[in-house]
Amino acid sequence: MPNHAETAGVADLPAALPDSVQKARARAWSAGSGTDAEPIMSYSDFTLEAVERRLGVTTHEAGLFPESTDVTVPAWLPEWLARGTRLALLSEKSRSEFIVVPILLAARELSGDRFAIFSGQRLDVDPPRGLAGECDFILALGPALPPLHAPVMTVVEAKKNDVEAGLGQCIAQMVAARRFNDDAGRPDSPVFGCVTTGETWQFLQLADGVAMLDRPRYYLDNVGRILGVLLAIFERCAGAS
């Protein structure tokens, strides 16, 4: 497995909150200081109920990737995951570093390095509505260089191994990615999401105010299928660009 994230396509960008965002939050707080005002939020505050109430996005289940198949797993990945799974018991950060990142890097390798992985990237598009904060991972078309261009997928690391609890956060980030692409003149670019514990992967797609939750879920014991879904997402997005 590659030893350096930056050479493998993971871009770490500054996480500092821009002055413009701080001022926007201050204005929103001042304007909404009444007792009936909604609290200022960020991505991690969103639940499914808050997503529907504040962003107008509903959810339903769908079979999103009928064309996906198991793909050949890179030779380095199974051994790395076998070692990483033992270390992943230590913390949520360990799960990210030793399970999630290797799978994303493997998908990038299989794609011919045609998408970038941004780790810890801020996506501040509408702070008053709560569409601001840091994303665990954003997958984007193009080279692994800042600034962010064409986000096509957000990946949320589920806290406390609870996939359901991360769905609201993921959907809010997908809405933000849609806004980002609209503002960049890419209104037709598909937007996908994923909530994962490392062992369990729940994929989503945002379309016309509806977040579609893929059925079935995918599991680490069939990593070839997880990679197949990631490649299917990339091919759809690349075809729409």
Q: What is the pLDDT of residue 7?
A: 34
**Domain 55-240, what architecture?**
Alpha-Beta Complex (3.90)
Cα separation values, 13 from 23, 144, 169, 238, Å: 21, 11, 20, 23
Q: Return the half-sphere exposure (C-beta side, CA atoms, 13 A cut-off) of residue 26.
A: 7
- pTM recorded for the entire structure: 0.84
Q: What is the pLDDT of residue 120?
A: 94
* Residue ranges for the chain with pLDDT beneath 50: 2-8, 12-17, 20-36
Identity of the residue numbered 70: D
Q: What's the pLDDT tens digit per position in 124-157?
A: 999 999 999 999 999 999 888 889 988 999 999 9
Q: What's the pLDDT tens digit per position in 216-235?
A: 999 999 999 999 999 999 99
Burial class (CB in 10 A: 0-12, 13-18, 19+), 33: exposed
Give domain limits for the chain: 55-240
Interatomic CA distance for residues 150 and 185, integer angstroms: 10
